[in-house]
Structure 1
Amino acid sequence: MMLDICNAFCINDAEYKELHEAFGKLCWHAAHDLKKKNTRNNYIDDVEDINQNLTIDLMRAGSYTKRQIYIEKCLELANKYAKDSTVISIIKELENLWSNRTRHGANRQKFGPTQENILDKIVLNIVPEKERPNKQDKLKIDGKFFSYCKTIIWNGQKSMGRKITRERSIRNGMVSLSEFDYLGSK
């Protein structure tokens, strides 16, 4: 599913440049910091490799953010233009799945590709073409996204740092990489 999200809501060259300008130095600093801590030489990646991994994590975060914005806009427009009671009940169920999604556990409710396709078809049929959201809309780097990306970099660094310093995993779980935690809060 992660690959599907990154393909459907891809980061274009202009967005990549924006991400690189905003977070490039921070990624390099995190990579150098990790390399300095590798005193036992038990982690063989170069600084460039670490930086590249952190940059890929940022691009994935951008794709998740674009998906979040797209789905919420689709649900909003579908509610606005729905007239048929069956379509309204389907939209309510999709909204319920979207608002009650959880990230872990056996009973998690998933808003996956199937639900996204259903929502896309509803929007295609009932929303006027001029008002339909686009999956390729520009990524907005605002304060909320900025703090999310800092969290992604911190988590990526801590995850790679576990391989270097063999820290306890309990310390790694202090900040979540979850799309749900960042994007679900308002």
Structure 2
Amino acid sequence: MSAPLSFDAIVLVGGAGSRLGGVDKAAVELAGRSLVSRPLEAVADARTLVVVGDTAAGEIPARAVRVVEDPPGSGPAAATVAGLRAVEEQAEWTYVLACDLPGAGCAIQLLADADPGESDGVVLTEPDGRLQWLLGRYRSIALYDAAERLGDPTDRSMRALLAELDLTPVTAPEEVWRDVDTWADHEQWTRTLGAG
């Protein structure tokens, strides 16, 4: 049996939620819990847990390091870099995930079980090959190097931050990586979780 991974985790909660009407996305209730609660539960064993962005969600653990990207609302790459800078002593691995992923528990298990070989990390991938950057397990040193190469992360994309990394793709079914961008997504996940 392999030794447990030593990892940090960065959970991004600062999305505008524009397609949900501009609500505090992380705090939106889904099947009796806030949207961010499941991603947080999935990385509960993180050595350092960083929550990036403002949210009124009540399930943020007291031990979490809370930071906001500068300037606020300047995108997921800026939020990821802010999260990295908040970790005082990095673990070997860093999970990066968004707050709107109800399937995060299964996703993190797939990422933990995947063999990255000598690559810079593993990232979940849709069947068509599209990478889900915000469902990844990255070598911390590679992630820090990527942030240095990027320079000013303001309004930059996750692709700009991570595309140069050598990543191992892990194809996953939709119910693992599907996020909650719209109220239709919310309704579909409510049905899925209700049937669980």
TM-based fold match above 0.5? no
TM-score by length of 1: 0.27
Higher percent of residues as helix: 1
More strand by share: 2
Q: TM-score of the superposition, structure 2-length normalised?
A: 0.26
